[in-house]
Amino acid sequence: MSEQQITNVKELTACQEKFQEETNRFRARVMVCSTGCRALGSEALSKAFHDKLAAAGLEREIAVVETGCHGQCSRAPLVLIEPYDFLYGPVKAEDVDEIIQTTLVGGKPVDRLCEMVDGQPCPTRSEIPFFKSQSREVMKHCGSLDPKRLDQAIALGSYQAAAKALTTMTPEQVIAEVLEAGLKGRGGGGFPAGMKWQFCRNAPGTEKYLICNSDEGDPGAFMDRALLEGVPHQIVEGMIIAAYAIGASKGFVYVRAEYPIAVEHLNIALKAARAHGLLGKNIFGSGFDFDIECRMGAGAFVCGEETALIASLEGQRGTPRPRPPFPAQSGYNKKPTIINNVETLGNVPRIIAEGKERFASVGTTGGKGTKIFALAGKVRNTGLVEVPMGMTLREIVYNVGGGVLDDRPFKAAQMGGPSGGCVPAEFLDLAIDYDSVKSVGAIVGSGGLIVMDDNTCMVDMARFFMEFVQEESCGKCPPCRVGTRHLKDILERICAGHGKESDLDEMEKLGKEIIAGSQCGLGQTAPNPVLSTIRHFRGEFEAHIRDHKCPAKVCQGLYQFVIDADKCIGCGICAKNCPTAAISGEKRKAHAIDQQACVKCGVCNEKCPYAAISKV
């Protein structure tokens, strides 16, 4: 796309029609995920398609597009073939010849690369259960365009909503539209976005700022990363609309440096938007000036908190400050500032383009629209899922996720990351929104959703999250700095088999004190994983403390490996593989394990061909 200036809505519409025509000249498109799938070889896969299509003389009629995330990471690397809607995965470079001959020339699916449903290949993405139960709105174009190409984004409608807002609506009308749509912040707190914007709009002064928070730090969460990688122009457009609403002329995207592809794609998008007049002075001839700068953070979890993020952006140490004043009154450089996360801003263009009624028609009273979750853990289909607010946990785990791995029983789901809590099996039919999840001791948060089966130790899970939170505490206030360490120490002691009867009451009391005394949201939610697991799995804690047993056989201090003398034939395989020489015995006679020397690595259990060694 040449660097022509788009100075008005008419020129934008003309560009959209032109680019759509150019896109339509290809009879088929090979959409190769080239973001997260890079780790599994998608760059070599894309090159193989380019080379082999050129060798076959098909490069002028079949396009190869390097896209963002398709979502179903458990089948990566993924390739979508349009217009057939065939989704293949995992795909290797050696599969390319067959795909070209069978699908791109013959028009038929390659069955062995398709999702298997009830024993039969299901080639079309729209019919695959993982996608069939979703409502992809924010992620609609993620995986459908090259994120490095402005022309493809415009061809699919990017910047039309911004043009509408800037040329036909007042800032107050934009705020009202977002407020009445019911959009709540998708970063964790669930505060109404329109209300936040109104506070900033009404704040005195003309120097105001907009910050896009992409400091996504929850373990396993990558919703914001995928949006910046796959549809960066959608986020830029959302920022333009938000900035217009609050009266900001300067914006920042604060993104963690561990997201190099997101940073690369965002900077390419910003450069292209500036070159074509979509950022900068007098956008669409509206008299509105706005530009965006990408800033990288060092990866501190606490910088996801608004005031800590602002401090980091100003070049200070990333620690929170007391509120009020809130950032909407005094934020960056002590000026009114709005901070929205990536997914929140990604929703804004469609609200303006499609209207508040359509957005509000999806979801529940406690949450409108859709929500993206990073589905992970002991579930068949892992990846990014976008579902309507109000879908039950059962539907997400079993319809979208395909059920628990190995058909084991569902035990719980950790929602909201380290700041969230566990939702046990008794709430599988809970309709998920901000209010309902909070009522059972968890939070929607940014969208982390980790599925756990009956082999998961909830005490160990609480210990893991408390260790994470304690390490990420900025240390500024004693309740968080000292309290989280004390909680971690108690949990480690329980997992090691040295728990005391008083530990549960002490942890509950300490958790409440940390919540009440901590300065920022990190400390105020830090005890949630501990309190929610005690609430729902108290018996498991008691088994560790009273019986010195870990029901899931996870905590090393509470299990041991033993050899069944009736099954052991004295082959010596276990002894040969034991790294500490803890196993002894005569040939063709039952062996034994020296429990003092055993380090519980489990190698003996894995190597025994007669299933004579078990964990008890």
According to the model, what pLDDT value does residue 250 have?
97
The number of beta carbons lying within 10 Å of the beta carbon of residue 131 is: 21
Under CATH, to which class is 458-547 assigned?
mainly alpha
What span, in angstroms and rounded, lies between the C-alpha atoms of 34 and 37? Answer: 6
Query: Do 159 and 352 meet the contact criterion of CB atoms below 8 Å apart?
Result: no
Looking at residue 24, its pLDDT comes to 86
C-alpha distances (whole Å) from 66 to each of 23, 32, 50, 393, 529 are 14, 5, 11, 33, 39
Length of the chain in residues, anyone? Answer: 616
Residue 232 confidence (pLDDT): 98
Instruction: Report how far residue 580's alpha carbon sits from residue 152's, in angstroms, rounded to the nearest whole number.
Output: 60
Q: Which of 87-91, 120-124, 299-303 has the lowest mean pLDDT?
A: 299-303
Q: What residues does CATH 3.10.20.600 cover in the chain?
A: 364-453
The answer to whether 447 touches 410, Cβ cutoff 8 Å, is no
Do residues 601 and 579 lie in contact, with contact meaning Cβ atoms separated by under 8 Å? yes
Any idea what DSSP says for residue 316?
S
What pairing do the DSSP bridges indicate for beta strands 421-424 and 561-563?
A: unpaired
Percent with pLDDT over 70 in the chain:
100
- Report the 3 state secondary structure along 93-129: HHHHHHHHHHHHHCCCCCHHHCEEECCEEECEHHHCH
Q: For residue 473, what pLDDT is reported?
A: 86
Cβ atoms of 1 and 278 within 8 Å: the answer is no
| Residue 241 CA to its chain's centroid (Å) | 24
**Can you tell me the mean pLDDT for 349-369?**
94
Please, how many CA atoms are within 13 Å of residue 171, restricted to the half-sphere of its CB? 17
Q: What is the pLDDT of residues 169-208, one digit of tens each?
A: 999 999 999 999 999 999 877 899 999 999 999 999 999 9
> What stretch(es) of the chain map to CATH 3.40.30.10?
22-132
3-state secondary structure string, 545-576?
HHHCCCCCCCCHHHCCEEECCCCCCCCCHHHH
Among the listed residues 203, 186, 190, the one whose alpha carbon sits nearest the alpha carbon of residue 238: 186
For residue 56, the one-letter residue type is A
Q: Which of 232, 261, 422 is nearest to 346 (CA)?
A: 232
Across residues 152-158, what is the average pLDDT? 94
Q: Enumerate the β-bridge partners of residue 451.
A: 377, 413
Query: For position 188, what pLDDT does the model report?
Result: 75
Res 254: pLDDT: 96
CA atoms within 13 A on the CB side of 569: 6
Rounded Cα–Cα distance for residues 394 and 39 (Å): 31
Q: What whole-number distance in Å separates Cα of residue 175 and Cα of residue 242?
A: 8
- The CATH class that applies to domain 157-359 reads alpha beta
pLDDT at res. 562: 94
C-alpha count within 13 angstroms, C-beta hemisphere, residue 249: 9
Q: Name 193's Cβ contacts closer than 8 Å, sequence gap at least 6.
A: 178, 179, 183, 184, 185, 340, 344, 348
pLDDT of residue 166: 97
Q: Which residues of the chain does CATH 3.40.50.11540 include?
A: 157-359
**Cα–Cα distances in angstroms (integers) from residue 72 to residues 80, 89, 564, in the given order:** 12, 9, 42
Is the peptide bond between 77 and the residue preceding it cis, with omega within 30 degrees of 0? yes
Position 376 pLDDT exceeds 90: yes
Cis peptide leading into residue 90 (ω within 30°): yes
* 504 pLDDT more than 80: yes
Tell me the C-alpha distance between 7 and 285, whole Å: 6
Q: What is the mean pLDDT of residues 219-248?
A: 95
Split at pLDDT 50, 70, 90, the class of 512 is: very high
pLDDT at site 11: 92
pLDDT band at 474 (very low <50, low <70, confident <90, very high): confident
Encode pLDDT of 395-417 as tens digits: 999 999 999 999 999 999 998 88
Indicate the CATH number for domain 560-615: 3.30.70.20
Under a CB-based contact definition with an 8 Å cutoff, are residues 476 and 519 in contact? Answer: yes
Of 413, 385, 409, residue with least CA distance to 399: 385
**Sorting pLDDT into bands at 50, 70 and 90, what band is 1?**
low
Q: How large is the average pLDDT for residues 55-63?
A: 94
Residue from 378, 372, 381 nearest 89 by CA: 381
Both structure tokens of 544: 């560790």
Band of pLDDT at residue 418, cut at 50, 70 and 90: confident
Confidence of residue 129 (pLDDT cuts 50, 70, 90): very high
The string of pLDDT tens digits covering residues 529-576 is 899 999 999 999 999 999 999 999 999 889 999 999 999 999 999 999
pLDDT value for 337:
97
The answer, yes or no, to whether residue 303 has pLDDT greater than 90, is no
Residue 421 has pLDDT above 90, yes or no: no
Class of residue 405 by CB neighbours under 10 A (exposed 0-12, middle 13-18, buried 19+): middle
Token pair of 258, please? 């561990």
Fold of 364-453: Ubiquitin-like (UB roll) (3.10.20)
Q: What is the CATH number of domain 22-132?
A: 3.40.30.10
The predicted pLDDT at position 2 comes to 60
**Can you give the three-state secondary structure of 374-389, one letter per residue?**
EEEECECCCEEEEEEC
Say yes or no to pLDDT of 594 above 90: yes
Q: How far is CA 27 from the centre of its chain?
A: 34
* % of the chain exceeding 90 in pLDDT: 83
